[in-house]
Each structure stands twice: as C-alpha cells, then as structure tokens.
Structure 1
Amino acid sequence: MPPPIAPEPAPKADSKDATLSRCDDADIQQTTTREFSIAEAAIYRVYRRRWVGLATLMLMNIMISWGWITFAPVSTSTQTFFRLEKASSVNWLSTVIFLAYICMSPVVIYTLRHLGVRAALLFAAGFSITGVWLRFIGARVGSSNGGHFPVVMVGQILIGFGQPFVLSAPAYYSDLWFTSTQRITANALISLSNPLGAALGQLIDPFLVSRPEDIPNMLLYIAIITTAVTIPVFFVQGKPPTPPCPSSAQEKLPFRSAFPKILSSVEFWLIFIMFSILVGFFNASSSLLNQILEPYGYSENEAGIGGAILIVVGLLASAVVSPIIDRTHTFLLAIRILVPIISICYIGLIFAPTSRSLAPPYIVLAFLGAASFSLLPLSLEFVVEITHPVSPEITSTTLWSGGQLLGAVFILSMTALTDSRTGSMKHALVFQAIISCIASIAALGIGWGRRVEYVQTRRIALDTNEAT
C-alpha cells in the first residue's frame, strides 16, 4: 500500500510568481525524498525570481571577466605606460587572476554550501569593487611617471579573489533553482557570460586606449560600470521556497564523503583532464592573442576583433546547442564530437596567422569559440550528473581550479616559448596544439567500453522516475 500523502500546503505569499511543475513548468508533482518524511509531501515549483539571480550572476561574471582581460588587448600600451621592461610583466596581470582563484577555492565551496549564492555574490562584489578602484588609483596617481604598477597588481589579485564566487556558482544555482530540462541552458547563460566579459574587453579596450596615456581613463570607466553592476546583488535570494524537482530536493553528500567519491571516479578524472586543458588554453589564448598575432602585422584593434569573434560566435553556438542537449541529454556524444574539433582548431591556429590576412585567423577563432563554448556548460552539468548526489559546487569548483591552474601554467610556458628576437609564438602554438590532443584522448575515453555504467545521468533518472 502506498504511503499516505499529506494535504497540499497552502501556497506561499509569493506563489503568484511561481510556475508549478512536474519537473518542468506545467503541473504539480508530489513525492517523498530524503529531505521529506513519509508524512510530508514535496511540491515542486520553479519561480520566476530565479531569473533575477541568473541575470545578476551573468552581470557579475561579465564585469569580473572584463577585469581579468583588461590589459591583454592593450598589452603594448600597458607596457609603455607603466614603463615595464618585458611583456611578461603584463602577462602576470592575467596570470595572478588564475592563481588567486585556486587560493580562494576552499572558501568558495564552504560559502556556497553553508551560506548560499547571495553571500557568494556579496563576497564577489566586495572583492571586485575594491580591486577595480585600486587599479584606477594605481594608474592615476603618478601617471606622468608611469603610475604604480604594484598597486595595480594588488587590484588584479583582489579581482581574482572575487572571480571564483561567481564562476563556480552556475552548476550550484542551476541545481537549486532549475529543472533537468533547463539546467544546461541556465548554466550556459551564466558560465558563458564570463567569456562575454572577455569579449567586451577584447573589443572595447583597444578603442578606449588609442595611446598609452589613456590607460587610467579606461580603468576609470571599468570601475564605474563594475560598481553599478553590483547593485542587483542585494535583490538575489539564496534558495527557492520549494525545490524545482526531486533531484534538487535530494540531500547531498557531506563534504567528507563527496571528495573520496569523485577522486575515485575514473570518469571524473578524464573530464577533469579534458576540462582543465581546454579551459587553460582558452584562458591563455585569450590573454596572449594580441601577442600571437602582432608579429604577423596585426594591430591591437584587429586582434581585439579576433578575440570578440572567438567569444561572440561561441555564445551564439552555445545558444543553439545548450537547449538541444537540455532536451536530448546526449552529453557524451556532444563531448566526443566537440573536443576533437577544438584540437583541430588549435592546430589550425599555428598556420592561420602566417597568411597575414584577416580571414584565416578569424575563421579558426570562430570555430574554436563555437566548439569551446558549446562544450563548457554541458561538461559542468555532465560531471554533476554522473557524480550525483555530490553537491555541484564541489565538482564545478574543482574543475575550474584545474582550468585556472593550467591557464597560469600555459601563459608562463607559452611566454617562455616565444622567440625573443622576432616575437613569434609559433613554438608556443605547436605546444598548445599537442597538449590539446591529450584532451581529445581523455574525452574519447570517458565511458568507454564496459565503463558506460559510470556515465549514467543520475539526476535526470531520479527526476524521470519520480515523475512517472
């Protein structure tokens, strides 16, 4: 005999903005989970207010990413303004962001798990606002004598401290507020707003800096916009009154049990290797794009447009791919197609700039962006699926930490491989292409042969079973 179902609780005061769902936006679904006793019933709903938090996370990601990439599109002007002897000093402005991410990762996991997404946003806002204004002060004070580069560096580090709070949040937020047919799209909107910020930086910064003396003004504009963007943070709620579907309501593993589970998973390690390499090279290529193209006669503006193409085309491609994967749940097939395409693009990037015309590098960057951006959110959601009930902030923060660490390593390695006489980065691009092929091998090995049982979509299965 089935357990008795308790009467439906009265709707909350804000239920007018709620959409009742059986695991999407249609009906009410009642069931029991680990968080509900037999005598209780869970009503699954999705709330319109989830879009407020999603939009705020998007805005914060855009501005923090713009803060990260600020100096890369105008690296030559930055070097001249601060009177730096080597271009590698400018590269460190990007590299410290990655290292700061790794330092803050344990704090981010704790904050999301115990304090919620609103607290994470407040931390991100505090660090980023302090960082962007400190950069402006460092450039403005003593600007006639090259400013104060160490102060600017400290500002970059603070921006780096803020980045993981919003970059690690998408998988956590989508699990908390969205259903299984919406999570990849929600994750894509938030996660890909981060490279959108980089695209804005690549495109806008060269136009703001027509000469080295414009660097302080550029930093002022970015500081003002960043400060304004943080206002919606105070309107974000930590979690919904009721879960959107059964997998969201299910109790997650405690931290001590979660880490041994993911570390013993071969599939997690394969995804970790693939994700870390590709995110690392994407970050490195975005930071070094001006230096990659400059030896072949491309201007800062043309390199900036190339970076914008990389990201804008990627966003458009992801806007098409993410909803399809949300409906079909063909995670593994998409990974096995997209990762080799990315490796081929990195091989193409070796030869495209040598044409000294705009079309070849722009075409390669467009395909690279389309494949990379389509891969990013589905990888983050796929690893949550196969490790469920591990909490999403643990897996996403671990993956991003690997990508940020390798981003720093790759920037330093590719800078060291640059020809000191001509400035050519051909050897660095060959290195990038070879290592990216390792990511393809890892991707093709996920769930191979008899290991197919380890790549089951556990959250989707739970939601489907509860809905039938």
Structure 2
Amino acid sequence: MDSTEVTHYRAYRIRWIQLIVFVLATFSNAITSITFAPIESETSKFYKITSAEINSLAIVFLFLYPFGTILSIWLSRKLSMRSTIIIGSILNLGVFIRLLSLSNRLNPYISLIIGQIFPAIAAPFFLNSTALFASRWFSPSQRDIATSICSMANPLGLAIGSLVPSLIITANPSAREFFILLISESLLVLLATFLIIIIFRSEPPTPPSSSEEHHQAINFKEDFINLMKNRQYLILLFGFSIGLALFNAITTLLEQLIEPQGYSSENAGIFGAIIIIAGLFNAFLAGFIMDKTHSYRLILKILLIGACGSAIFFILILQPNKFYPLAASIGLMGFFLLPLLPVSFECALESTYPIRPEWSTGLLMCFGNIIGGVFIFFIGYLIKLDSQYKHQHIFRPSTIFILCSFIISSLTLFIYKGSYLRLEAEKQTIQKSSINNSSNII
C-alpha cells in the first residue's frame, strides 16, 4: 500500500506499468501528427504538393478532434476504459496507410491524408482520458503528477516528431528516406497497440480515493448544460482554448515562421524539440508542486506571467543570425506554456466535479484544437504577408497576431477563480470516516 487517505483506499504498484503503457500509446499517436511539419519544403519537393496540403496533414488532427471526442465519450458510456483505449489504438494503426504514398506517385496525397485521418480520430481517445486515468489509478497525493506525466506524453511526441524527420530526410529527399521515416513511426504505433491489448486495464481492484469510488456516469445533455452554466469553467475554456490554439499553431508553423529569417528545417526541428523538452521539465516540476500544495489557481497565474513574457521575448528576438537567443526564447515559451495543460486539466476537474473528466477536459481540448486549426490557416496567411516587410521589422502581421492572442488568453485566465469541489468532497469524506471511526471506538 503506497498511500491511504482512508483505510480501504489503496494505490497499487501496477499503476506505474499502466502509466508507462498509456503514455507510450499517447506518445505514438502524437508523433504521427506532426511528421511532415518540420520538413515542409522537403515533403513539398518529394511529393509535389503545396504548403497548404502539408499543413492540412497536421490540421486534420485538430478539426477531427470534436468527432473523435464525441465517439470516445459515447463508447465510454457503453464500454470499459480498456475497451475504449483498445479501439483508439486500433484506429491509430491507420498510419500504415501512409506507406502507400510511396507506391502511388500519381496521387500520393490521398494515401497521406487518409493515413492521418484514422490517428486523428484516435487522438481524443487518449488525450481526453488523461485525467480519468490518473484518477482511476492514483491516490490524491500522486494524482496531479500522474496527470502531468500523462498530459506531457503528447507534447513529448510532438518534440520527437519535430526532431526525427529533419534528421532522416535530407535536402534532396528520396523514397528510401521517407520509407524509413514512415515505417519507423508505424512500427512504434504497432508496439504501443500490442502493449495496450496485452497489459492495459481499466481500473485497479479497489478505488484509490473517495471521489473515484463515488464517480457518476456520463449524461451527455445534463453534463453539457451544467458545464455551460458554470461561469468559471467557461472562463477557463475560453482562455485555455486560445492558449492551446497558439501552441498548436506555433509548433506546426515553426519552420514557416523562422525560414524567412534565414533558419533551416533542421533548425526548426531543434527549436521544436527545445520548446517541448523545456516544457516537460517544468510540467513535472509543476506536477510535484500541485501534489504538495493543490494551489492550482496560483500556479496557473505564475505560468501565465511567464508565458506572456517569453512570447514578447520570442517576437523581439525573431531576427536573422540569432540562433542561441532565439532558442532560449523558444525554450522559455515551452517552459511556461506546456505546464498550463495539466494545471488547466486539474482546474477543470475541480471546478466541475462530479462531472466526469472526459467531458470537462475533453471540451477544453475540443475547442482548443478547433481554434488551433483556424489559427494555423490564418497565421499561415499572415506569414505570407510578412514578406512585404523587411527583416528589421520586429512587429509583422504574424507576430502581432501571436502577441495579441497571448495577451487575450493570459488576461482571461488571470480572472479565473474556480472552486476546488473535488478536494472539498474528499476532505468531507475523510472527516465523516474519522467521526465514524471515533464513534466505533467509543
């Protein structure tokens, strides 16, 4: 027994194995979503497709997120979490279809986009289950760090997905190079699916906390109405959605943002890895602090101040021949932006309890991904307008939009004052149990 709030609540050691398998499945899904973004020019040259078509290979993950969310929530009402995650893993195997693009050179884009659609539908199966998985398997004293680890599996996949393609694909790409890239990612997905089927379980033999013992079933209509009536949740939803949209847009368009300043696709891959690695470090740190203090609102505000400051630094330093300062600014953005994901998840759970995590966190991700898709198209258009300005101009259409969006997101989240409903419910359960135990002793 690792930790107990009440004598009959137990966290099992096998939870760490479950965590590793769940993280690997989420990671393998994320790595396929950004395959072509860091090698945009090379992909365009090899497949003879446009930048807009290449951007769509990543954007499809954003626009199909609502459909995947509805499907995963509907399935979770009928099936166990294990069965739902297995279905998501099988959908993820659709990445193998992308290999057909190497044999169908007349119209390879069809194979590429279909091969992206299936894992795009699968993405919410993993991402929306992050907080639910942590609640199912971990006690309140470790629940926040588990949420942080699970939620960082997706950004870690994006980091590796940003770095590896630029290491495999050269300036004059060949079919062999693309085969190595696509088959490597596909085999990783196959391994994750195999482990999910063999190892993954829905829940431990006994619940780790009172909130998980008494969780309620999903009711589509009633839960949605309650969420829309929750003013603090709506504030969180609006601010978080813009922040997530910005992160998705920046990671997807990073090469196109920095290329006019003289940086290469290899630089873009390095920068993409830096933003994620820095964010992962702080996300784990934030997870430990949340576990110890449960001060979600305070941590949220500290991260927002840092995110705004780092965004200003990035825009000011986005100039030619400033590789190391630019890398530092991108690292700081990741350091403050990524931890907002697990912190916002915990805020959503606390302010909407006892509504199930799939709904409260799933809606955050849905809106963030939809707006992210719009941002990618719009910022991509603004980047083309940037060419009308000289390199010396710090404030260009794309950077002005990014900065304004950062400010709007931060100001919105700064006024968030959601309650800690789940923590209060667990505290009351402990107090009642203590009173009952005292009565029995007397």
Instruction: Provide the TM-score with structure 1 as the length reference.
Output: 0.86
In the alignment, which residue of structure 2 is the partner of 1:247? 211
Equivalent residues of 1:116, 1:239 under 8 A apart: no
- The answer to whether 1:72 aligns with 2:37 is yes
Match in the other structure for 1:347: 312
* Structure 1 counterpart SS, 2:318: helix
- Counterparts of 1:21-420 in structure 2, within 5 Å, are 21-23=3-5, 29-30=6-7, 43-84=8-49, 86-130=50-94, 132-138=95-101, 140-143=102-105, 148-210=108-170, 211-213=172-174, 214-234=177-197, 235-252=199-216, 254-255=218-219, 256-419=221-384
Q: Contact 1:79–1:87 at 8 Å: present in 2 too?
A: yes
Q: What is the rounded CA distance, in whole Å, between the counterparts of 1:293 and 1:421 in structure 2?
A: 11
SS of the residue corresponding to residue 179 of structure 1 reads coil
Residue 421 of structure 1: how far off its partner (Å): 8.0
What is the deviation of 1:217? 2.7
Q: For the residues of structure 2 that align with 1:262 and 1:308, how far apart are their CA atoms? A: 35
Q: Secondary structure at the match of 1:389?
A: coil
| SS in structure 1 of the partner of residue 338 of structure 2 | helix
Q: How much has 1:248 moved relative to structure 2?
A: 0.9
**Letter of the structure 2 residue corresponding to residue 216 of structure 1:** F
Q: Indicate if the aligned counterparts of 2:37 and 2:54 stay in contact, CA closer than 8 A.
A: yes
**By how many angstroms is 1:462 displaced?**
2.3
1:456 and 2:393 correspond: no
Deviations for 1:323-367, whole angstroms, at most 9, x for unmatched residues? 111110110011112123212322332222214221122111111
AA of the residue aligned to 2:43: T
Q: Which residue identity does 1:77 align to in structure 2? A: E
Q: Take 2:188 and 2:211, find their aligned partners in 1: how far apart are those partners? A: 38
Asked if structure 2 preserves the Cα contact closer than 8 Å seen for 1:345 and 1:368, the reply is yes
Q: Structure 2: state its 5+ residue gaps.
A: 390-394, 432-442
Q: Which is further off, 350-359 or 309-318?
A: 350-359
Following TM superposition, by how much is the alpha carbon of 1:160 offset from its aligned partner in structure 2, in angstroms? 0.2
* CA distance, structure 2, for counterparts of residue 171 and residue 241 of structure 1: 19
Corresponding residue for 1:433? Answer: 403
One-letter amino acid of the counterpart of residue 300, structure 2: I
The whole-number CA distance in structure 2 between the counterparts of 1:423 and 1:306 is 25
Amino acid at match of 1:369: G
RMSD: 1.8
**1:442 matched residue in structure 2:** 412
Query: Does structure 1 conserve the Cα–Cα contact (< 8 Å) formed by 2:63 and 2:373?
Result: yes
Contact 1:180 1:459 in 2 (8 A): no
Structure 1 counterpart SS, 2:11: strand
**Alpha-carbon distance in structure 1 between the residues aligned to 2:182 and 2:388:** 27
Letter in 1 for 2:421: R
Give the Å deviation of 1:290: 0.8
1:7 is matched with: none
> Secondary structure in 1 aligned to 2:72?
helix
C-alpha spacing 1:185/1:77, structure 2 compared with 1 (3 Å): same
| One-letter code aligned to 2:92 | S
Distance 1:77 1:423 in 2: 25
Extract unaligned runs of 5+ from structure 1. Answer: 1-18, 24-28, 31-42, 448-454
Equivalent-residue separation in structure 1 for 2:92 and 2:193 (angstroms): 9
Q: Which residue of 2 aligns with 1:8?
A: none
Residue 232 of structure 1 and its aligned partner are, at CA, apart by 1.1
Q: Distance in 1 between matches of 2:120 and 2:375?
A: 17
Q: Is the 8 A contact 2:240 2:413 kept in 1?
A: no
Structure 1 residues 212 and 110, CA gap change in structure 2 (3 angstroms):
same
On the 8 A contact 1:20/1:44 being kept in 2, the answer is no
Q: Deviations over 1:52-85 (max 9, x none)?
A: 221112111111111001000100001111112x
Mapped partners of 1:355, 1:429: distance in 2: 15
Select between 225-234 and 287-296 the one with higher mean Cα deviation. 225-234
Separation of aligned partners in 1, 2:291 and 2:322:
39
CA distance in 2, matches of 1:254, 1:220: 38
Letter in 2 for 1:141: S
Give the Cα–Cα distance (whole angstroms) in 2 for the partners of residues 327 and 185 of structure 1: 10
Report how far residue 173 of structure 1 moved.
Answer: 0.9
Closer/same/farther in 2, CA of residues 82 and 254 from structure 1, 3 Å limit: closer
CA contact 2:162–2:269 (8 Å) conserved in 1: yes
What TM-score results when the alignment is normalised by the length of structure 2? 0.91
Residue identity matched to 1:199: A
Query: What is the CA–CA distance in structure 2 between the aligned matches of 1:301 and 1:189, rounded to whole Å?
Result: 28
Structure-2 separation of matches of 1:311 and 1:275 = 18
How many percent identity over aligned positions?
A: 26
The one-letter code matched in structure 2 to 1:465 is: Q
Cα gap change, 1:176/1:293 in structure 2, threshold over 3 Å: closer, same or farther? same
Q: Is the 8 A contact 1:72 1:91 kept in 2?
A: yes
Deviation string 1:162-202 (CA, Å, 9 cap, x unpaired) is 11100111111112121222121111111101010110011
What secondary structure is seen at the aligned counterpart in 2 of 1:446?
A: coil
What secondary structure does 1:196 align onto? helix
Deviations 1:252-293 (A, max 9, x none): 264133222111011101110111111111011100111111
Shift of 1:456: 2.4
Q: Secondary structure at the match of 1:22?
A: coil
2: CA distance, partners of 1:341 / 1:423: 31
Q: Which moved more, 1:309-318 or 1:120-129?
A: 120-129
Q: Secondary structure at the match of 1:212?
A: coil
Give the AA of the match of 2:237: F
CA–CA distance in structure 1, aligned partners of residues 374 and 286 of structure 2: 30
Q: Which of structure 1's runs of 4+ aligned residues deviate more than 3 A?
A: 420-426
Q: Distance in 1 between matches of 2:411 and 2:385?
A: 33
